[in-house]
Amino acid sequence: METKMKMNNLFFNTKAMLIVLLLVLQVTTGFSQNKEPDLQPKVIQPGKSLHDAEPQPAFRMASIFTDHMVLQRDQPLPIWGWAAPGRPVTVEVGPHSARTRANAEGRWRLTLPLLESGKGSLTMTVKAGDETIRLTDILVGEVWLCSGQSNMEMTVYQSADGKAEIKAANHPNIRLFNIPRPNPLSTEPQDDVVGQWQACSPETIGDFSAVGYYFGREIHQSVDVPVGLISASWGGTIIETWTRQEEISRLPGMAERIAEAQDIHRDPTVVPQDMTAEEKLEAEIYQAEFKEKAEYKIAFDASKERSKNSYKAFSEARVNDELSRKMSSPDLDISSWKTMQLPNKWGEAGLPDYRGMVWFRKTIDVPESWVGKDLVLHLDQIYEANVTWLNGQYVASGSFKENPQVYSIPASLVKAGANSITVRVIDTFRPRGMSGNPEAMALCVAGSEETDRISLAGPWRYKPEVQLLRHLPWPKDHVNHPTLLYNTMIHPLVPFAIRGITWYQGENNHGDGMRYFDKMQALIQSWRNVFLRPDAPFYYVQIAPYTYGGDMEYALPELWEAQTAALDIPHTGMAVISDIVISNWLHPSNKQDVGKRLALWALAKDYGQDDLVYSGPLYKSMAIEGSKIRLSFDHVGSGLASRDGKPLDWFLIAGENGRFVKAQAVIEGNTIVVSSDAVDKPIAARFAWHQEAQPNLINKEGLPAGPFRTYRP
């Protein structure tokens, strides 16, 4: 620690600096000397960024300003960019015009008056001397920033019914701005990002945030105004990396973590001229470590490219009908295919650490007496998706959501003697595949499945098709340090006028407990500060139930508690999604309902739809009534109900000994009464207080209740 502090002092002093090891810098950042800007073109294309390899023109706008953008209606509109120092800049859009002058650093910024949402598009004309930038097809409407980790990053293509959603995504008045993952990251706020506004269409929506799109679609269709969506997400990230230094540094331990990030990302080529022998040795050690990091980064980038190519090949194979016809044909020569005993996890039976696509084939003899009869194919558990053929004819497809896999086979496909069953299995998450129960794998005659059956357990032939390659572990200077993604993905947007923010994050902070409330408060405050909107709506998703392993069954409920507590921050809202998840699946594919539930908050709070029920029941208070506890709720809507018609579940009650036991829960009006024969004198209750809880309590509008406990230790 003492050495690190000494090194920090050494490298951040204000003495004259000496540039060394330029070659290392070139290797790691691709640095090259920029040429003088070419000022000859009079019309400059917008949308370039500081991260582009090409030199930037002296006169340009921030990349958030491009053709097809949406400007926030009914708010002052900050506009900014760069020009030659001292040069006057004029901006015209619609009926408004404003003028300013670039400062000594070549930066300029001005603010246009409010614009109303209109029927047509506008043009923005920006002039600096004899240079002009023209942006066309600009709409005025509602702009929302959508951010978070993987569940916000998850694309429309990856969501439920993704192909159908993409095909139907003809919404020219929804506009999309997708920020790619930046490289490199920075401990200092950056000026610009890469990006280009696009109109929503089947060609543009597939790789956009599913939650962001489904939220924006609800707003667009309900309010009938143009909607601009800015997606800035990165899977596997912590909330701290999205928060500005001024706010996050006030929390305990954050100043040290910020200093650590600055140390990791420090430029090793900048060193003082005057150093003692000891300091020179320390500098050489640091530079050697940096070189090692640089070499690892080269290997990491190469592995990322291989991984990207494997995903491309996988996506192409998945929709290759000719490949499917070939591989399912009963005439295919499979003599080179290997043998695997099924059911089995393929990772334990010949394909260790394999994720991707595998073909399986088994030939069985069907008795003459089965001809002309419908059959039933039982394949039991298959993870995570499959397509099945009999004798080269398509039978059915399914996913782990429908496990066990049971398919009907019409009599027309069945013949006496040899019949080939081909199953294409895709598992992108773990090396599992066809891993169910041997007794449950069988081909049966419909209606007499217990007696007329042929076991399918045993040897199958298999052939791997495409393996999804993992990239190397992220370098130690990866993203999960405070402020890094704020600096490189959020600050470049500031202070673009927005209506509000949607947020889906928390999985990588699931062990934080109530500390997450403090971090959410810091994040919300920082973004409201920089976007100049102290009352900006901030609507977020309470993360899904999931088995995190270890002794963590109560850690997730404590995070849920922190997320619920964040509702006390003004102008916030929370979408509960415990009813629309897949058991033990971190990334539920039903993003449509997630977007709708976020939109309910916005429609009710920001767009005047006061009659909407926008939240499920949230705990308000309790009253002890003898051996029972009566629980009261906010947001009961038109009444409380059970989602599946069964008795209410996931309620616990405790007596004076503090031990919680399962409770009976009964709806009485807008309250719930809980009790247990094992507790005479109750003192507390809990609901859905477990990481796997998917309770059935809802209001009659179909929105689920949030988890809670009636007291906090």
Instruction: Give tens-digit pLDDT for 484-525.
Output: 999 999 999 999 999 999 999 999 999 999 999 999 999 999
The half-sphere exposure of 603 on its side-chain side, counting CA atoms within 13 A, is 23
What is the structure's pLDDT at 604? 98
Q: Which band of pLDDT confidence, cut at 50, 70 and 90, is reported for residue 33? A: very low
Do strands 453-455 and 442-445 pair parallel, antiparallel, or not at all (unpaired)?
Answer: antiparallel
User: Alpha helix locations (H) across 464-579?
Assistant: 484-485, 515-530, 555-565
Kindly state whether residues 332 and 276 are assigned to the same domain: no
**CB atoms < 10 A from the CB of 87, how many?**
17
High-pLDDT (> 70) share of the chain, %: 86
Residue 631 located in a structural domain? yes
Kindly state whether residues 390 and 433 are assigned to the same domain: yes
Residue 678 located in a structural domain? yes
- Tell whether the model's pLDDT for residue 307 goes beyond 80: yes
Contact present, 436 and 379 (Cβ < 8 Å): yes
Residue 520 located in a structural domain? no
Q: What is the mean pLDDT of residues 193-208?
A: 96
Q: Which band of pLDDT confidence, cut at 50, 70 and 90, is reported for residue 266? A: low
What is the structure's pLDDT at 584? 67
- Boundary (domain end) residue, out of 411, 439, 467: 467
Kindly state whether residues 344 and 463 are assigned to the same domain: yes
What is the structure's pLDDT at 13? 36
Contact present, 615 and 701 (Cβ < 8 Å): no
Kindly state whether residues 410 and 338 are assigned to the same domain: yes
**More reliable by pLDDT, 569 or 473:** 569
Q: Which of 169, 181, 214 is nearest to 502 (CA)?
A: 214
Which structural domain, as residue segments, surrounds residue 290? 2-31+266-306
- Boundary (domain end) residue, out of 467, 494, 510: 467
Kindly state whether residues 292 and 334 are assigned to the same domain: no
The predicted-structure confidence for 228-249, as pLDDT tens digits, reads as follows 999 999 999 999 999 999 999 9
Kindly tell me the sign of the dihedral angle through the C-alpha atoms of 50, 55, 60, 64. negative
Compute the mean pLDDT over every residue in the chain, rounded to the nearest whole number.
Answer: 87
Residue 287 located in a structural domain? yes
- Tell whether the model's pLDDT for residue 403 goes beyond 80: no
What is the structure's pLDDT at 8? 39
- Tell whether the model's pLDDT for residue 318 goes beyond 50: yes
High-pLDDT (> 90) share of the chain, %: 72
Length of the chain: 713
Contact present, 361 and 461 (Cβ < 8 Å): yes
Q: Is 154 helix (H, G, I), strand (E, B) or coil?
A: coil
Kindly state whether residues 282 and 407 are assigned to the same domain: no
**More reliable by pLDDT, 284 or 491:** 491
Kindly tell me the sign of the dihedral angle through the C-alpha atoms of 153, 157, 158, 159. positive
Kindly state whether residues 286 and 424 are assigned to the same domain: no
Contact present, 650 and 706 (Cβ < 8 Å): no
Q: Which band of pLDDT confidence, cut at 50, 70 and 90, is reported for residue 51? A: very low
Among the residue ranges 412-426, 499-513, 572-586, 699-713, the one predicted with the least confidence is 572-586
What is the structure's pLDDT at 239? 97
Q: Which band of pLDDT confidence, cut at 50, 70 and 90, is reported for residue 182? A: confident
Q: Which band of pLDDT confidence, cut at 50, 70 and 90, is reported for residue 274? A: low
Kindly state whether residues 370 and 463 are assigned to the same domain: yes
Kindly state whether residues 288 and 332 are assigned to the same domain: no
What is the structure's pLDDT at 290? 58
Kindly state whether residues 362 and 457 are assigned to the same domain: yes
Kindly state whether residues 325 and 392 are assigned to the same domain: yes
The predicted-structure confidence for 134-148, as pLDDT tens digits, reads as follows 999 999 999 999 999
The predicted-structure confidence for 642-697, as pLDDT tens digits, reads as follows 999 999 999 999 999 999 999 999 999 999 999 999 999 999 999 999 999 999 99
Q: Which of 364, 384, 363, 377 is nearest to 435 (CA)?
A: 384
Q: At what angle do helices 277-318 and 22-29 cross, to 10 degrees?
A: 20
Q: Which band of pLDDT confidence, cut at 50, 70 and 90, is reported for residue 60? A: very high
Residue 523 located in a structural domain? no
Q: What is the mean pLDDT of residues 531-552?
A: 90
Contact present, 640 and 616 (Cβ < 8 Å): no
Q: What is the mean pLDDT of residues 544-553?
A: 81
The half-sphere exposure of 90 on its side-chain side, counting CA atoms within 13 A, is 9
**Residues in a beta bridge with 88:** 101
What is the structure's pLDDT at 553? 78
Residues 6+ apart with CB under 8 A from 681: 627, 655, 656
Residue 195 located in a structural domain? no
- Tell whether the model's pLDDT for residue 303 goes beyond 70: yes
Residues 6+ apart with CB under 8 A from 232: 145, 146, 147, 179, 485, 489, 490, 493
Give me the CATH number covering residue 442: 2.60.120.260
Q: Which band of pLDDT confidence, cut at 50, 70 and 90, is reported for residue 393? A: very high
Residue 647 located in a structural domain? yes
Q: What are phi and psi of 262, to 5 degrees?
A: -65, -35
What is the structure's pLDDT at 605? 97
The predicted-structure confidence for 459-492, as pLDDT tens digits, reads as follows 999 999 999 988 776 665 478 889 999 999 999 9
The DSSP secondary-structure symbol of 43 reads B
- Tell whether the model's pLDDT for residue 55 goes beyond 70: no
Helix (H) or strand (E) holding 152: helix 150-153
Q: What is the mean pLDDT of residues 216-225?
A: 97
The predicted-structure confidence for 424-433, as pLDDT tens digits, reads as follows 999 987 788 8
Kindly state whether residues 279 and 396 are assigned to the same domain: no
**More reliable by pLDDT, 706 or 50:** 706
Number of domain units in the chain: 3
Euclidean distance between CA atoms 525 and 562, whole angstroms: 16
- Tell whether the model's pLDDT for residue 328 goes beyond 90: yes
Residue 356 located in a structural domain? yes
Q: Which of 595, 601, 637 is nearest to 617 (CA)?
A: 637
The predicted-structure confidence for 70-121, as pLDDT tens digits, reads as follows 999 999 999 999 999 999 999 999 999 999 999 999 999 999 999 999 878 9
- Boundary (domain end) residue, out of 306, 331, 363: 306
Buried b (16+ CB within 10 A) or exposed e, 235-246: bebbbbbbbbbe
Range from 159-163, 216-220, 258-262 that averages highest in pLDDT = 216-220
Residues 6+ apart with CB under 8 A from 198: 68, 175, 176, 177, 178, 204
